[in-house]
Amino acid sequence: MNQTTSIKDWLGRQRKEDDELGLGQVRRLAAMLDQDPARFRRGSEVPESWYAILFGPTALQGRIGPDGHPLTGGDDLMPPLHNTRRMFAGRRVKFHKPLKVGDLIERVSTIRQVEPKSGRTGSFTLVTVVHELSAGAGVAVTEEQDLVYREAVAEAAGGTPAQQAKGQPATEKPEWSKAWSPDTAVLFRYSALTYNAHRIHYDLPYAREQEGYPALVVNGGLTGLMLVETARPHLPGAIVGYDARAMAPLFIGQPITLNTRIAGDVAETWAAAADGGVHYRVNVAFKR
């Protein structure tokens, strides 16, 4: 069977799931962010970006691949993309109403795009998934997420490995900056909160030998969360959405700077490495 035809069959595929926004997990996330966990009680509104701790993968252990991600195809939402490495590329999120501690959440996920591509780092497949999270009546959060499934490192032919991609030069100057030095403990806590078993975040021999990284990789979701939370005190209004894009990996032991500037009704934020290159960017929209 032609693989392109096969994966195109996944367009429009849907999955419904339910979860609960538990008090314990919210308090643990607050603690990870050095915030007072006790300020959250059942019924408390949860900061917008914290929805990310919902819907950790529940694939059976026998369905976990060698990289720690659930195997694709079969009963999984993702199309069959065997012998590939999954990478997060970006997300676009809109917040319609707040989530509260104790809410029962339903998520409907739909495959919006499955597109084989080829670039300077080799061939890959771009998969776009739309998630709609509802709590009671009406949608609370809409997320459009881009995932890249890239051929294994050993199979890549020529070009610069994606793992060694460099940050892009910054084109703006920040109004506020904050140094951030993530360590293995925070990577563990974030991975545990999101139930993310991708081995590049905790298994150094695997990260180096199998995926070609020089060190443990900082979770893209964690970087995005830190950018939003660092910008939050400077925002003149409530967050209504954001657009996040991962451009190059960040690593443990690498000095990182979290930068923010306000441009109209958007807070432009970016994470830069020691050379000043932009590795991760989040544009946070707010309502004055």
Average pLDDT over residues 197-212: 94
Where are the chain's structural domains? 3-287
Per residue in 73-107, pLDDT (tens digit) is 866 788 888 778 888 889 999 999 999 999 999 99
282 compared with 156, residue with greater pLDDT:
282
89: enclosing H helix or E strand: strand 84-95
The residues, any chain, with a CB within 8 Å of residue 273's CB and separated by 6 or more, are 167, 250, 254, 255, 256, 279
The residues, any chain, with a CB within 8 Å of residue 2's CB and separated by 6 or more, are none
Per residue in 98-140, pLDDT (tens digit) is 999 999 999 999 999 998 887 666 788 899 999 999 998 899 9
Q: What is the pLDDT of residue 4?
A: 54
Mean residue pLDDT of the chain comes to 90
The answer to whether domain 3-287 has CATH 1.10.10.10 is no
Q: What is the pLDDT of residue 117?
A: 82
Q: What is the pLDDT of residue 158?
A: 39
Whether the pLDDT of residue 216 is over 90: the answer is yes
Number of Cβ within a 10 Å radius of residue 230? 21
Q: What is the pLDDT of residue 170?
A: 80
Per residue in 222-280, pLDDT (tens digit) is 999 999 999 999 999 999 999 999 999 999 999 999 999 999 999 999 999 988 899 99
The angle formed by the CA atoms of residues 90, 54 and 230, to the nearest 5 degrees, is 60
Per residue in 135-182, pLDDT (tens digit) is 988 999 999 999 998 876 554 443 345 555 677 878 889 999 999 999
Q: What is the pLDDT of residue 163?
A: 53
Average pLDDT over residues 178-194: 97
Length of the chain: 288
Mapped onto helix, strand or coil, the DSSP state of residue 213 is: coil
Range list of β-strands (E), 96-206: 104-119, 122-134, 139-151, 176-180
Q: What is the pLDDT of residue 81?
A: 83
Q: What is the pLDDT of residue 156?
A: 42
């894009």: which residue's tokens? 245
Q: What is the pLDDT of residue 165?
A: 67
Average pLDDT over residues 195-214: 94
């109403």: which residue's tokens? 97
